[in-house]
C-alpha cells in the first residue's frame, strides 16, 4: 500500500510552546508538498506568519487557517456548564488583545475611575498593590461595610506591605472575606508545604556538587530597591558550608551556617519602612471670626527623584463632605476646613516634602506655622 503525499490531507495541531522555530515548519511543509493543508493554531500571535507560509507553499485560502481559542472550543466543554452567566468571552478577549505598547492608551469601555499604574519592577508593584489592598480594607472599615477580596497567590510581595500598612493604621480585618484566585495543590488536593519558598517567603540556595573537602563561603547581598521610606538591609550575610570525607569515603556536607556583618549578627534580611502623618488644622480667632465658615487650603506633596511611591495617600478627617479622600504626589489638591477641623494624610514615607497654602479670605488675616517641611521621624 502506498500513500500519495501530494494528495495527503494534513491536519497539524500547533501549540505555542512548540511553534517557536518557524523555519523548521516551513521545511517540513515543503518536503511533504501536500496539496491540501489545514493548520489549527493555538495562538493568534503566530497567525500572520503561518498565513505567509500557506501562501508561499500552498497558495491556500484564508479559510484554511483555524484559530483554536476559548471562543470556538467552549461549546460542549465541561467549562461551559460552570461559566458564570453574564460573562461575555468575546468582550473579555477584546479587552486583553491590545498590543503591549498601547496598554496605557485609554479605551472607551474603561470605567471612568480606572487608571493603570506603571511599575518599573516587581518590588514597586508589591508596594503599590499592598497599599491598595490595605487602603480598601481601611476605607470599607470606616464606612461600616463588609469587603470581599479575591486575592492572587503570586507574586506574593504585596502582602507584607498590606500587613504593614494595616498595622500602622491600626485597622483590623474582621469585616474582610478573602478568597484565593487559585490554589497551590496537586491532583490529590495536597497544598504547598510551609517550607516551600513560595509559601514561607524564604529564599533557597542550591549548593553545587563538591569535588574536594574544604570550607566554602558564599556572600549573600540584598540589592537595594527604590521604594520610598524603606531602609534596606545593608549588611552582607555569609553562607559557610563545611565539606568532609564521610565514613563511606564519599564527600558529604557536614555543616552549614550563616554569619553576618555588623553588630546585630542577624541571618535575616530585614528592611524597615518609615512613614509619618501630615496633619493640617484650622483655627479661627477674633470676636468677628465666623467659626462655621470654610476656608480653602491647597496641599502639594513632592518626592525624591528616582524613588517609587504609592499611587495615592489616604486623607481622613475634616467636616467638609466634598473633600478628597486621597491625594497624589506632585498634584495640587484643594481641601476646605473650618474652625476646629483637622485633616490627616497618612503613611507618607520619610523625606516626602509638603507645602500647605491657605487662600486669603476677605476680612481675615492669616498666620501659619510649619506650612512647608519634610516628613521625618
CA distance 363 to 207: 76
Q: What confidence score (pLDDT) does residue 110 get?
A: 79
CA distance 66 to 77: 18
Q: What confidence score (pLDDT) does residue 266 get?
A: 60
Q: Where do the DSSP E strands lie in 284-341? A: 295-302, 313-317, 326-327, 333-337
Q: What confidence score (pLDDT) does residue 63 get?
A: 52
Please give the grid coordinates belonging to residue 56.
508561499
Q: What confidence score (pLDDT) does residue 142 get?
A: 92
CA distance 12 to 6: 16
pLDDT digits (tens, 9 = 90+) for 186-227: 455 455 444 444 444 566 778 888 899 999 988 888 888 888
Question: In this model, does residue 145 exceed pLDDT 60?
Answer: yes
Quick one: average pLDDT of 293-310?
93
pTM of the model: 0.45
Q: Rounded to 5 degrees, what are φ and ψ at 67?
A: -90, 115
Q: Where are the domains of the chain?
A: 5-68, 122-185, 210-272, 274-374
Q: What confidence score (pLDDT) does residue 374 get?
A: 93
Helices and strands (DSSP H and E) totals, the chain: 8, 18
pLDDT digits (tens, 9 = 90+) for 66-125: 556 667 777 777 666 666 667 777 877 777 777 777 878 888 877 888 888 888 888 888
In sequence order, which ranges of 170-240 are alpha helices (DSSP H)? 197-200
CB-count exposure of residue 353 (10 Å: 0-12, 13-18, 19+): middle
Topology classification of domain 274-374 = Immunoglobulin-like (2.60.40)
* Cβ–Cβ < 8 Å for 26, 44: no
Amino acid at each position: 500500500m502506498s500513500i500519495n503525499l501530494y494528495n495527503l490531507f494534513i491536519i497539524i495541531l500547533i501549540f505555542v510552546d512548540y511553534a517557536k522555530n518557524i523555519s523548521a515548519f516551513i521545511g517540513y511543509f515543503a518536503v511533504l508538498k501536500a496539496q491540501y493543508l489545514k493548520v489549527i493554531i493555538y495562538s493568534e500571535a503566530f497567525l500572520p506568519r503561518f498565513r505567509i507560509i500557506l501562501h508561499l507553499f500552498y497558495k491556500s485560502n484564508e479559510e484554511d487557517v483555524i484559530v483554536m481559542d476559548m471562543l470556538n472550543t467552549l461549546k460542549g466543554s465541561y467549562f461551559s456548564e460552570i461559566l458564570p452567566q453574564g460573562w461575555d468571552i468575546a468582550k473579555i478577549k477584546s479587552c486583553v488583545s491590545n498590543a503591549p505598547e498601547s496598554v496605557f492608551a485609554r479605551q472607551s469601555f474603561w470605567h471612568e475611575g480606572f487608571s493603570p499604574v506603571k511599575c518599573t519592577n516587581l518590588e514597586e508593584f508589591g508596594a503599590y498593590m499592598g497599599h491598595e489592598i490595605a487602603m480598601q480594607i481601611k476605607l470599607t472599615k470606616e464606612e461600616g461595610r463588609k469587603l470581599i477580596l479575591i486575592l492572587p497567590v503570586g507574586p506574593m510581595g504585596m502582602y507584607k506591605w498590606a500587613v504593614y500598612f494595616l498595622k500602622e493604621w491600626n485597622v483590623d480585618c474582621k469585616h474582610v472575606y478573602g478568597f484565593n484566585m487559585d490554589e497551590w495543590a496537586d491532583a490529590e488536593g495536597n497544598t504547598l508545604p510551609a517550607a516551600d519558598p513560595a509559601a514561607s517567603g524564604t529564599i533557597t540556595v542550591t549548593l553545587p556538587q563538591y569535588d574536594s573537602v574544604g570550607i566554602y563561603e558564599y556572600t549573600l547581598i540584598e540589592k537595594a530597591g527604590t521604594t520610598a521610606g524603606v531602609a534596606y538591609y545593608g549588611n552582607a550575610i555569609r553562607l559557610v558550608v563545611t565539606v568532609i570525607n564521610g565514613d563511606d569515603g564519599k564527600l558529604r556536607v557536614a555543616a552549614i551556617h550563616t554569619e553576618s556583618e555588623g553588630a546585630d549578627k542577624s541571618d535575616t534580611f530585614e528592611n524597615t519602612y518609615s512613614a509619618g502623618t501630615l496633619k493640617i488644622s484650622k483655627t479661627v480667632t477674633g470676636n468677628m471670626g465666623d467659626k462655621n465658615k470654610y476656608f480653602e487650603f491647597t496641599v502639594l506633596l513632592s518626592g525624591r527623584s528616582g524613588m517609587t511611591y504609592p499611587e495615592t495617600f489616604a486623607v481622613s478627617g475634616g467636616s467638609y463632605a466634598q473633600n478628597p479622600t486621597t491625594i497624589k504626589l506632585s498634584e495640587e489638591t484643594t481641601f476646605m476646613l473650618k474652625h476646629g477641623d483637622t485633616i490627616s494624610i497618612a503613611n507618607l514615607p520619610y523625606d516626602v516634602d509638603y507645602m500647605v497654602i491657605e487662600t486669603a479670605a476677605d476680612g481675615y488675616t492669616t498666620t501659619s506655622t510649619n506650612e512647608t517641611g519634610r516628613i521625618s521621624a
